[in-house]
Amino acid sequence: MLEFRKGDLYIENVKLSDVAKEYGTSTYVYSKQQIVNNFENYKKAMTLRDGLICFACKTNSSGAILKILADIGAGADTTSGGEIYRCLKAGFNPSKIVYAGVGKTVEEIEYALKNKIFMFNVESFEELDAIDKIAANLKIKANIAFRVNPYVNPDTHSYIVTGKKGTKFGISYEDAVKAYLTAKRKKNINIVGIHFHIGSQILEIESFVVAAKKIKKIVDEVEKNGIRISYIDCGGGLGIKYEKGEKVPSPKCLISEIFSVFDKDKKFIFEPGRSIIGNAGHLLAKVLYRKMSGGKNFFITDAGMNDLIRPTLYNAYHEIIPVKKINANVKKVRSDVVGPVCESGDFVGRNRILPIVKQGEYLLITCAGAYGAAMSSEYNSRPLLAEVLIDDKQTKLIRKRANYKDLILNEVL
Ligand code: LLP
C-alpha cells in the first residue's frame, strides 16, 4: 500500500506530500485497504474452525478504524471500560467483545455486564469473586474464561512479555485447575473458555505452540472434572516486519499450528492487534530544522516522543523514509531523527544513514499504526495530533488536530 510513483510516496492512491499540505504535520495516516487485507488474512486462516477474531483495540482505538473492523465482522479484545465504550460506539456486537485486564474495577465490571459482553478473561481469584457478586446483584450470569499464565518466555522486548513466570498477568499455572473448580461453585458464573496471551511482537511460532500445549494440559484436567471448555482464546502477539530482513510468520501459519494442538470440537478466539493495524498506519512528520552536532546530523522534526513513544520506551525501530524520492547521488549521513520535546530520549530514530533532505521536507515514520496514536500524549503541552484515513483516492480526517484550548479543557481551577 506504500509505494513510490514518479518520485512521490503514495498510500493507496494518495500522495503523502498532499496529505501533509492539507492536514499539516505531525499526522498519523492509515490505509483502509491494508487494514481490511490484514483482517482478511486472519479470517481465511480461521475458516476450518468456529470462533472469533477479536481486534485488540488497545493497539489503536480510533473510532473510524474500529468501525472498519466492526463492519467486516471483527470482534474486539478490550482492556478497560473505556475501550468497551469505544467499541460499542463503533458498532461492535457486544456478543463479540472479550475483556481482559488485571485490574478491572467494580464500575467497569458492572458496565461490561450491563452491556452483555461475551466474556471476561479473569486474572485472579479475587476478581472472580467480584464478578460473581456484581453479576448476582444484576441477577445475571457472567461468562468467563480464566487467563492462565503458561510460563513461557517468548523472544521479544522484556516490557511486552506477558506469559512468563513472575509477570503480573493471569492466574498462575499451578492454580489454574483450582480456579476452574472454584468458579464451578459460583452461582453467577458461567465458564466458557480459557485464555492465554504470551506477549507482543513475537516473530517465532514455537513459543505460541509451547504455550498452547501447556494450556491443553489444563483443559484436559479441567474437563476431567466435568467442566466444559468451549473456547480457546489464544490472545494476540504475532509480530510485524519493522526492519528489512525480519522474517514474519503468517497468521495462517500461527493459527494452523495452534489448531493442531487442540481437539476438533473447540472454538477459537484470536486477539491480534499489531498484525492488523501496525503496517497500515504511518506517522508523517516535517523536518523543522537540521544541524550538525557531536559529529552527526540531527533532523529535528515536528513528531515527538509524545506522538510516538515506542522508540523511546522499547528502543523500537521504525524505518524512516523521505516522502520525495531522493536522487541516488545525494549525500547520505549518519543522522538522529528527533522531536521537539525536552528530553534526550525524544527520538524516532537514531544513527540512521539518511540522505540530507531539505528543511521543510516530509519524512514518513513507517509502521506506526499499532501503539502509536493509542499511546500518544500531550507531554510538553503538545496538543494531540491529527489522524487521516486513506481509502483508494479519498482522504478523510478521522481525528482533528487538538488545539491549545483542548489542553486545559478539563481543568477546573
Ligand atoms: N491480547 C491481550 C490480552 C493483550 O494484552 C495484547 C497486547 C493483545 C491481545 C494484542 O497483542 P498484539 O497482537 O498487538 O501483539 N505497547 C507495546 C505493546 C503492548 C502489548 C500489550 N498487549 C508496543 O508498542 O510494542
User: Looking at the structure, do residues 257 and 362 belong to the same domain, yes or no?
Assistant: no
Domain total of the chain: 2
| CA atoms of 143 and 191, how far apart (whole Å) | 6
Give residue ranges with CB within 6 A of ligand 1: 56, 58-59, 77, 100, 160, 197, 200-201, 235-238, 271-275, 310, 314, 370-371
Shared-domain flag, residues 262 and 360: no
Domain containing residue 184: CATH number: 3.20.20.10
74 domain residue, yes or no: no
Please check the confidence at residue 312 and state whether its pLDDT lies above 90: yes
Residues catalogued as catalytic: 342
Are residue 401 and residue 286 in the same domain, yes or no? yes
Domain boundary among 244, 272, 300: 272
**Among the residues of 194-292, which ranges form H helices?**
206-224, 251-259, 274-277
Task: Give me the CATH number covering residue 290.
Answer: 2.40.37.10
The reply to whether 104 falls in a domain is: yes
Ligand 1 atom having least distance to the Cα of 371: 24
Quote the domain boundaries for residue 349: 2-30+279-407
Look at strands 2-5 and 332-338 and give their pairing: unpaired
Q: Is 39 inside a domain boundary?
A: no
| Whether residue 154 sits in one domain with residue 251 | yes
Task: Choose one of 209, 244, 272: the last residue of a domain.
Answer: 272
Distance 199 CA to ligand 1 centre (A): 7
Chosen domain end from 272, 300, 316: 272
What is the predicted pLDDT for the residue at 91?
98
Segment 108-118 mean pLDDT: 98
Residue 120 has pLDDT above 90, yes or no: yes
pLDDT score of 1 more than 90 = no
- In this structure, are 132 and 230 located in the same domain? yes
- Phi first, then psi: what are they for 130, rounded to 5°? -65, -45
Would 287 be classed as within a structural domain? yes
Based on the fold, state whether residues 104 and 237 are members of the same structural domain: yes
Q: Which residue, by CA, sits nearest to atom 23 of ligand 1?
A: 371
* In a shared domain, residues 295 and 395: yes
- pLDDT, residue 391, reads 98
* Percent of the chain at pLDDT exceeding 90: 94
This prediction has a pTM of 0.97
Residue 300 lies in a domain: yes
pLDDT tens digits, residue range 46-99?
Answer: 987 999 999 999 999 999 999 999 999 999 999 999 999 999 999 999 999 999
| Mean pLDDT across the chain | 97
What the block records as the C-alpha cell of 306 is 509524545
pLDDT tens-digit profile of 256-287?
Answer: 999 999 999 999 999 999 999 999 999 999 99
Q: Are residues 156 and 251 in the same domain?
A: yes
Q: Tell me the pLDDT band of 359, cut-offs 50, 70 and 90.
A: very high
Q: Give distance in angstroms: CA of 269 to centre of ligand 1.
A: 15
Q: Are residues 364 and 247 in the same domain?
A: no
- Angle at which helix 206-224 crosses helix 176-184, to 10 degrees, equals 40
Beta bridge pairs of residue 202: 238
- pLDDT number for residue 48: 79
The per-residue pLDDT for 28 is 99
pLDDT, tens digit (0-9, with 9 covering 90-100), for 42-55? 999 998 799 999 99
All residues at 6 or more sequence positions from 393 whose CB lies less than 8 Å from its CB, including other chains: 12, 13, 14
Judgement on whether residues 251 and 105 belong to the same structural domain of the protein? yes
Q: Contact, 213 vs 148, CB < 8 A?
A: no
Same domain? 115 vs 166: yes
In the predicted structure, residue 330 carries a pLDDT above the cut 90: no
